[in-house]
Amino acid sequence: AQKITQTQPGMFVQEKEAVTLDCTYDTSDPSYGLFWYKQPSSGEMIFLIYQGSYDQQNATEGRYSLNFQKARKSANLVISASQLGDSAMYFCAMRGLAVGGSNYKLTFGKGTLLTVNP
């Protein structure tokens, strides 16, 4: 079984500042993938960044970076230079990568609502 915990229901950040959204996970899978998605008010889930448990380096995608600490089972999302358009719900998710089993579906956390203030 997999579990994702996002302890911050809401976060506020000033435009142009950096913000960290927390995510901790629990799994019995020996290898797994961690994802972050953004959900604007329109409802569509937008994929942001991926980290494999076997990756040696933390993932980065433009202004998004993932602070992966395997021993602490955390996968925090860092958004640098926040923009007004970053205001949205952010979801952390994971899935197992082992052959067989339910390695195709994502398990999501409850999300963090980020508000970027001008």
Partner 1 sequence: DTGVSQDPRHKITKRGQNVTFRCDPISEHNRLYWYRQTLGQGPEFLTYFQNEAQLEKSRLLSDRFSAERPKGSFSTLEIQRTEQGDSAMYLCASSAGGGFSGLGTGELFFGEGSRLTVL
Backbone region of residue 30 per phi and psi (left: phi > 0; alpha: psi in -120 to 50; beta: other values): alpha
The distance of closest approach from Cβ of residue 95 to partner 1 in the complex, given in angstroms and rounded to an integer, is 7
Task: Determine how many CB atoms are found less than 10 A away from the CB of residue 115.
Answer: 13
The distance of closest approach from Cβ of residue 43 to partner 1 in the complex, given in angstroms and rounded to an integer, is 4
User: Among residues 16 and 52, whose Cβ is nearest to partner 1?
Assistant: 52
The distance of closest approach from Cβ of residue 91 to partner 1 in the complex, given in angstroms and rounded to an integer, is 5
User: Among residues 5 and 67, whose Cβ is nearest to partner 1?
Assistant: 5
* Interface with partner 1 (CB under 8 A): 4, 33, 35, 37, 42-47, 50, 52, 54, 91, 93, 95, 97, 102-111
The distance of closest approach from Cβ of residue 118 to partner 1 in the complex, given in angstroms and rounded to an integer, is 26
User: Among residues 45 and 78, whose Cβ is nearest to partner 1?
Assistant: 45
E strand residue ranges, the chain: 2-5, 10-14, 19-21, 24-27, 32-39, 46-52, 60-61, 64-69, 74-79, 88-96, 107-108, 112-117
